[in-house]
Structure 1
């Protein structure tokens, strides 16, 4: 099997900071070596799969508990702190057990639809916050660094559903414990590249270069502390209600605490990991979506026309309304195709596998190159073009499923928070398009992407939000 040599990889990633260009390296290597190639990262062998049909073969061959790759640093931290693993980091029977509990609550669209009102209250605050930020600029329209705005929206939204309380992320004065969590989250992603790829960095180097591992542990300490506080607060409220003989009602966290299908440590771990997974992923996608709409005003107006015609002027959309807004759904799918939050995904083969004519032994680490497949002309004609309507079915027999772009994964190990993330994005984008013309600020140049754990904007995006006449 072809592929770059060990020395070439070490130079690419550690000398040329390839960790910030993983998406570009995917494209480069797939052109040089083909749709399947091998790489060595120190002692670690990785087989990269950059073909839609081969990715489909890998995912369709998975067993009942697929094994992720590169989670050793997460597990090491949990062992050190005597913490449980959550749905992202768990494997095997532990993962299956937690998955079976959580999938009953948030996997189906109808389960998540009940959160529409809660999400729309956060969208209310988002729209109000856009107004506040615009007023701070002399032109009265510009919001600087929109990803900071959407980061706080996404955190407020996911926390409202997970913790069943508001954090104040979109207020002028953010509470200190919320600000501490935001700092911990930023620290987590700043240390991401040196910890997720720990297999290539020997542990004996930690005494020599201690800072990355210390920051990684410090960030996890902050994330767990924040979650424990909010879980414990809700648990105290439930106990007080029961002591008063009141009926206990609530959302996701209340169900987990009262059903007692998971231990309290399992709940701490899962809430922490779901909050971690649900903030930057949503905020980056919203930032890219608004940037793309600003760069393509004719598509923005097409979507505005659909929203206005379907809902009527000023109507606040619910989860049920989104089914009647195919261009809003297509906007999110096309944004995630062009800028997949996870440019790649990992798997460990659990059995011998024949792939692309090669025998892949059991226990081999696979890298599924989603960025490369999503920009492949064979999978998507005019792959660099922004075409949300490519995802819209033209008739009842038309299928637009495509393994070239699977931003939420596929099968049993697909993203369990997909429906929540989609609801947050669909409702926010619908309301923003109803209220504003989105334009690129003159201060924003052509924005490229970079890999920082996730695929994110390489520079700040400044946009103008101009009131629509109606």
Structure 2
């Protein structure tokens, strides 16, 4: 049996490894053969085991029966697929295929189109691709090795349309690949999804369509995954979702690698999903992140936890970052950083800008400064200290942290659909880059946490001595200090959650600010409307940032409108704890269901004039007012998630963006040279393909920087 498995799997395994690692083909069978005594070694009778020739003949007969059974199953499967392809050829009057004819003749030409497949006829002819298996597809696919090595390539090699048809390799329960258990699990993942579909069909109710009847883009997840890589779909996943909804309607299934999900669009379905999330809502686990924590022996924060443990930690964190009392404590810190950002921008305009009608202006790409702002604000709130990113020479440590976060986000999507532990064993460059980025993020956070802990210890010791600590009276010690003082979370869990908040609080704030500034710049009428409300509110607030935000609801509308058009995360996922019905389709409990935010925000079925940037639609007189009045459904603004599992840093991010926009609109007029829509790409978060260039024109003539900010 060893010999048979070797012959069937050694060549595809060599192909797979050379694609993933970028190295020359190696003898995978030799390198990955389990050691003597390993539990995963297959038992093969040898001469040393028995001298009874009768036993050996019986064993050989069993092997022959298994081989004939596999051949019969292969022939049946090939014939069914050939019948399906023949159906499409007859429908579209295409020429017959000799190989399909031979498959049908092998079983007597009496195979009809399978009933389930007949219900899922697709006009794009994708059924032909589904006849391939993953191993054979790897043999004919040319990978863009830049995806794994980190190098940039501008061209993609596509497989020939006339490539020979792949042979189907059936792996039954009696013949399993023992050379690489992780690959074996990967190959059988699609069968697991198929089993779930069978349960859904058995449990369908009268009048409700079955799970299998939900339209889908192809039932072979590994073939779909390879096609995504080949065509570069990962970077345009949001566009792919939008196009698929246009093709199939408001619900469809997506098979990608080992993952099977149901994607939905309409708020009525999203509401039904959230009502079935239970006491401990679950969303899709980012397995590359979880694997990094497990291999490095780090504790997991609430982002990666589930169940009662998640709920306990989350309730403790909510007290420090979500409640109104917490917002009241950290809002002045965010306001200080937003003011300093505008001071920096004024200095740049005065030194590098050009004067025009007495109002100096400067045209720049603001994204580097926005990333520094987001990191400075996050550190100030989380650690209670400034790190000086607005100085003339920002620290190399902070610049490396920003790079590490960007690298971590860029390497996550390709790893979501591959077994991380397999890549870890193969020393794949993609996994190495991902793990190295996380290591740097943890190192940066560890240094800040140690400094915070030492500062608290020093303040405690000086306080016990009866002497006041300089700057400690009424000073917010940061979320880190608050958690340490309460002592309700172990230090390891504090470290894990603070690190996750830091890693998730930079790009997810800086990128939406780029989109917001661009939309305000290319919609001058909207910009003036928001500015007028901001100026009036600021004059009444007398410098109080909380009152200023309360008096300018259009600022909040600007953030919501930006995230409607450009959601940071393009999906919100849940696993319902009970069977539900969406669009009259039965969804079994435990199915991964994704609310797709990018198509949702641009759907004519959900929003009036969805392409128009209108912060007022979220006010009492806009569409939101209709929602409150009960004439329209809710669940339309979900960029931060919903319910108990919504983004834990939501209050920090919302107020951070609103305060920066407030001070920018008070001090600058924004313009752009081109009003064309920004092209976007997806790298775990949605961001511009190229950062927009914006002209900042000072609204003051000769006032000093300090005067303009008062």
TM-score under structure 1 length normalisation: 0.93
Mean Cα displacement is larger for which, 406-415 or 12-21? Answer: 12-21
Pair 87,133 (structure 1): closer, same or farther in 2 beyond 3 Å: farther
Coordinate RMSD, CA, aligned? 2.4
Q: For residues 195-218 of structure 1, give each alpha carbon's deviation from its aligned partner in whole angstroms, at most 9, with x where no partner exists.
A: 2x2x34575355557111111111
Q: Measure, in 2, the Cα distance between the counterparts of 1:207 and 1:237.
A: 41
The question of 1:344 aligning with 2:568 is answered no
Q: 1:463: how far off?
A: 0.7
Structure 2 counterpart of 1:448: 679
Structure 1 counterpart of 2:413: 193
Asked if the contact 1:142/1:441 (under 8 Å) is kept, the reply is no
Q: Measure, in 1, the Cα distance between the counterparts of 2:384 and 2:516.
A: 28
The question of 1:46 aligning with 2:266 is answered no
The question of 1:214 aligning with 2:432 is answered yes
Residue pairs, 1:304-343, within 5 angstroms? 304-312=531-539, 316=543, 318-343=545-570
Pair 233,469 (structure 1): closer, same or farther in 2 beyond 3 Å: closer
The question of 1:34 aligning with 2:249 is answered yes
- The structure number with the bigger radius of gyration is 2
Q: For residues 327-355 of structure 1, give each alpha carbon's deviation from its aligned partner in whole angstroms, at most 9, with x where no partner exists.
A: 11111111111111111122233333332
Q: Measure, in 2, the Cα distance between the counterparts of 1:29 and 1:317.
A: 47
Asked if the contact 1:44/1:200 (under 8 Å) is kept, the reply is no
Pair 18,209 (structure 1): closer, same or farther in 2 beyond 3 Å: farther
Q: Measure, in 2, the Cα distance between the counterparts of 1:138 and 1:394.
A: 40
Q: 1:149: how far off?
A: 1.5
Structure 2 counterpart of 1:164: 384
Q: For residues 219-248 of structure 1, give each alpha carbon's deviation from its aligned partner in whole angstroms, at most 9, with x where no partner exists.
A: 111111111111111111212222223577
Asked if the contact 2:277/2:574 (under 8 Å) is kept, the reply is no
Q: 1:173: how far off?
A: 1.0
Structure 2 counterpart of 1:416: 648
Structure 2 counterpart of 1:391: 618
Q: Measure, in 2, the Cα distance between the counterparts of 1:318 and 1:63.
A: 37
Give the aligned length. Answer: 467
* Of 258, 265, 273, the match for 2:485: 258
Task: Give the match's secondary structure for 2:303.
Answer: coil
Q: For residues 159-217 of structure 1, give each alpha carbon's deviation from its aligned partner in whole angstroms, at most 9, with x where no partner exists.
A: 1000111112222211122222122112112212122x2x3457535555711111111
Task: Give the match's secondary structure for 1:312.
Answer: helix
Structure 2 counterpart of 1:245: 463
Mean Cα displacement is larger for which, 305-314 or 315-324? Answer: 305-314
The question of 1:427 aligning with 2:642 is answered no
Task: Give the match's secondary structure for 2:463.
Answer: coil
* Of 317, 321, 324, the match for 1:102: 317
Q: Measure, in 1, the Cα distance between the counterparts of 2:626 and 2:576.
A: 33
Q: Measure, in 2, the Cα distance between the counterparts of 1:469 and 1:137.
A: 16
Asked if the contact 1:130/1:143 (under 8 Å) is kept, the reply is no
Deviating 4+ runs (over 6 angstroms): none
Q: Measure, in 2, the Cα distance between the counterparts of 1:458 and 1:65.
A: 37
Which ranges of structure 2 fall in alignment gaps of 5 or more residues? 1-213, 355-359, 702-710
Residue pairs, 1:349-360, within 5 angstroms? 349-360=576-587
Q: 1:407: how far off?
A: 0.9
* Of 370, 373, 394, the match for 1:150: 370
Structure 2 counterpart of 1:381: 608
Task: Give the match's secondary structure for 2:253.
Answer: strand
Q: Measure, in 1, the Cα distance between the counterparts of 2:611 and 2:533.
A: 24
Mean Cα displacement is larger for which, 332-341 or 104-113? Answer: 104-113
Q: Measure, in 1, the Cα distance between the counterparts of 2:269 and 2:367.
A: 34
Q: Measure, in 1, the Cα distance between the counterparts of 2:409 and 2:349.
A: 29
Pair 104,207 (structure 1): closer, same or farther in 2 beyond 3 Å: closer
* Of 300, 307, 324, the match for 1:85: 300
Q: Measure, in 2, the Cα distance between the counterparts of 1:207 and 1:82.
A: 17
Task: Give the match's secondary structure for 2:263.
Answer: strand
TM-score under structure 2 length normalisation: 0.63
Greater RCO between the two (CA within 8 Å, min separation 6)? 1
Q: Measure, in 2, the Cα distance between the counterparts of 1:290 and 1:284.
A: 10
Asked if the contact 1:155/1:278 (under 8 Å) is kept, the reply is yes
Q: Measure, in 2, the Cα distance between the counterparts of 1:178 and 1:87.
A: 25
Pair 42,128 (structure 1): closer, same or farther in 2 beyond 3 Å: same
Residue pairs, 1:213-232, within 5 angstroms? 213-232=431-450
Q: Measure, in 2, the Cα distance between the counterparts of 1:106 and 1:138.
A: 39
Task: Give the match's secondary structure for 1:114.
Answer: helix
Q: Measure, in 1, the Cα distance between the counterparts of 2:293 and 2:236.
A: 29
